[in-house]
Amino acid sequence: WYAEKYMKGQRDKHDCVAEWEKYRACLMVIFLPLMLLLRI
């Protein structure tokens, strides 16, 4: 059962990383234009 739990944990972690990548991409899309506007 331990291996099964471990595999599930790995998959959950991978999903979390994928979600973080999407979240970070969204932040970049929002913040990049703001930073450019502030710089002008």
- What are the extents of the domains in the chain? 1-40
Residue 25: the pLDDT is 92
Average pLDDT over residues 10-24: 83
In the block, which residue shows the tokens 């994928």? 18
**Stronger pLDDT, 38 or 40, i.e. the higher one:** 38
Residue 37: the pLDDT is 92
Output b/e per residue, 8-33; b: 16+ Cβ within 10 A. Answer: eeeeeeeeeeeeeeeeeeeeeeeeee
